[in-house]
Amino acid sequence: MRAIGIILAGGNNHGLRALSQKRAVGAMPIAGSYRAIDFVLSSMTNSKVQKVGVFTQYNAGSLNKHLSSSKWWDFGRKQGGLFVFTPTITADNGFWYRGTADAIYQNLEFLKNSHEPYVIIASADCVYKLDFNKVLEYHIDKKADITVVCKDMPKNVNVERYGTLKMNEESRIEEFEEKPLIARSNTISCGIYIIRRHQLIDMVEKCVGEERYDLVRDILIRYKDMKHIYGYKIKDYWSNIATVEDYFRTNMDFLKAETREYFFKEYPEVYSKVADLPPAKFNKGAQVKNSLVASGCIINGSVEDSVIFREAYIGNNCIIKNSIILNDVYIGDNTRIENCIIESRGTMRANSYYIGEDGIKVVVEKNDRYVI
């Protein structure tokens, strides 16, 4: 592969409400036993990208723990590898990452010391599978300066929180707006870009020299008429998880057979850190309908239309409906949970009641847990 990868996993995120207090979006648990960043990392390793830098800043504890070994994604190699870059104070710099372009600028040595001619830039908060070789082929074919991976969203989806764009017949991008007040197109940027390495180095240096720090606003949008920026449309599953509603919907998508088929059964697969947990255990009284249950769970109650992440314990006579229970949650007996996302490691007391009345309720419970 003639490209290195950069994963931007640094930003804070308010769309995820209480869920982002604990971790960066890239570390959000997805589909029972994965984390969001697994999807981009797996796509990169499956595309034979050998060298990947992950830029983290906000609340990176969970993410760093997840990335503690590169072997899960087969990056533990002599050639290339997985590198995590957090902001550091140096003789020339005392800032946090002031934006995505600044994050790249502060780690420009990573780019300068590579020999691959291209760079793939992607974010850590999307769920998809993508063969970057095809995007790169397209990029070279089009003689593009920058290629932006994009997707047509269904008409009923509100695209105002994305970057929207319009292309001409040759797929060259003519309009690009970030988070428009009123969207003029339902084609959105997936936050995945390919650019020549030297071009990126030049642009980022120039950009930061002018005290501009954002990759989208100050490079993509600013240069769109001067440089050849092309769009590469994808049709397969792609979902961003940066709001509670989208996060919930993305997880629930995995209850559909075709989504599971696409991600879990079709080659190539998605990798994640191995957790060494025993199989899920269903005791007498367990009643599970249309749900995903991950390893290490112990189920005693009733579960319907829900995604239960690893090591959750669900007590006797519980009723869990249309909810997401994150890792290592303990739910005491006779508890009812509907339309909720239960934050990981929470402890729900017995006989309690959590219902999302209008929309999804995020529950963060820090009760004491007594375990023998």
Nearer to another protein, 247 or 309 (CB): 309
Look at the alpha carbons of 24, 56, 273, 53 in this order and tell me if their dihedral is positive or negative.
Answer: positive
Q: Name the minimum Å distance from CB 294 to another protein.
A: 4
Question: Rounded distance, CA 88 to CA 364, Å?
Answer: 32
Q: Name the minimum Å distance from CB 270 to another protein.
A: 8
Q: Name the minimum Å distance from CB 319 to another protein.
A: 16
Residues 6 or more apart in contact with residue 112 via CB below 8 angstroms: 201
Alpha carbon distances (Å) from 44 to 4, 39, 119, 132, 146? 9, 9, 12, 7, 18
Question: Rounded distance, CA 93 to CA 24, Å?
Answer: 24
Nearer to another protein, 37 or 204 (CB): 37
Q: Name the minimum Å distance from CB 201 to another protein.
A: 35
Q: Name the minimum Å distance from CB 27 to another protein.
A: 15
Please provide residue 234's backbone torsions phi and psi, each rounded to the nearest 5 degrees. -110, 150
Nearer to another protein, 13 or 272 (CB): 272
Cβ(363)–Cβ(346) below 8 Å = yes
Nearer to another protein, 96 or 282 (CB): 282
Nearer to another protein, 147 or 272 (CB): 272
Task: Print burial letters for 252-285: b (CB count within 10 Å at least 16), e (below 16).
Answer: bbbeeeebeebbeeeeeebbbbeeeeeebebeee
Q: Name the minimum Å distance from CB 290 to another protein.
A: 4
Nearer to another protein, 101 or 294 (CB): 294
Q: Name the minimum Å distance from CB 41 to another protein.
A: 12
**Environment class of 235 (CB within 10 Å of its CB; exposed 0-12, middle 13-18, buried 19+):** exposed
Question: Rounded distance, CA 50 to CA 82, Å?
Answer: 8
Q: Name the minimum Å distance from CB 34 to another protein.
A: 7
- Of the candidates 162, 182, 164, the one whose C-alpha atom is nearest the C-alpha of residue 174 is 164
Alpha carbon distances (Å) from 344 to 8, 23, 325, 347? 24, 11, 7, 9
Residues facing 163 on adjacent strands: 178
Nearer to another protein, 11 or 296 (CB): 296
Q: What is the largest CA-CA distance in the chain?
A: 67
Interface residue list for another protein (CB under 8 A): 31-34, 38, 71-72, 255, 260, 263-264, 269-276, 278-296, 298, 307-309
How many other C-beta atoms lie within 10 A of the C-beta of residue 311?
Answer: 21
Q: Name the minimum Å distance from CB 26 to another protein.
A: 16
Nearer to another protein, 100 or 322 (CB): 322
Amino acid present at 297: C
Nearer to another protein, 170 or 276 (CB): 276
